[in-house]
């Protein structure tokens, strides 16, 4: 499989994460991740969780929509990863200000802080390769 194919595959897999977790978070305080915490059924908390779940779901759908045309939607690809990176900075702030979350969320933070720039760099490298091959074909 080509590097482009691998990028598309990983992007699609990672796009499914916010789709699935966004749907779960739209359950508000009844999200299975939060249910064990005994959160109160506070309308403000529930409303915000459901809103953020919807935004997260939307981001996942955008990422999945990009995959077939991944080299054509440069700005959207970068904006999506920027949003993920910014979410990771929020997790990182929480880690330092509130404490360690469960281990999977530490891994998510690493993916968001380190992985997001790596995906953008990988995408940029493929764009440069594509541009170079177009120049070669014209010669």
Q: What is the pLDDT of residues 85-114, one digit of tens each?
A: 999 999 999 999 999 999 999 999 999 999
40: left (phi over 0), alpha (psi -120 to 50) or beta: beta
What total of structural domains would you count in the chain?
1
Distance CA 41, CA 50 (A): 12
| Nearest in space to 53 (alpha carbons), one of 19, 76, 84 | 19
Structure tokens at 88: 């990771």
- Residue 35: pLDDT band by 50, 70, 90 thresholds? confident
Which structural domain range is residue 55 located in? 3-138
pTM of the model: 0.89
Distance CA 78, CA 60 (A): 14
């Amino acid at each position: 499989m080509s590097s482009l194919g691998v990028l598309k595959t990983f992007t699609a897999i990672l796009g499914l994460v916010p789709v699935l977790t966004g749907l779960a978070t739209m359950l508000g305080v009844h999200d299975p991740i939060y249910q064990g915490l005994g959160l109160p059924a506070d309308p403000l908390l529930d409303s915000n969780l459901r809103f953020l779940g919807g935004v997260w779901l939307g981001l996942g759908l955008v990422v999945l929509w990009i995959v077939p045309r991944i080299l054509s939607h440069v700005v959207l690809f970068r904006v999506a990863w920027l949003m993920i990176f910014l979410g990771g900075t929020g997790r990182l702030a929480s880690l330092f200000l509130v404490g360690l979350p469960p281990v999977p969320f530490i891994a998510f933070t690493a993916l968001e802080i380190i992985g997001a720039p790596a995906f953008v760099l990988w995408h940029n490298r493929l764009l440069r390769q594509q541009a170079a091959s177009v120049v070669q074909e014209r010669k």
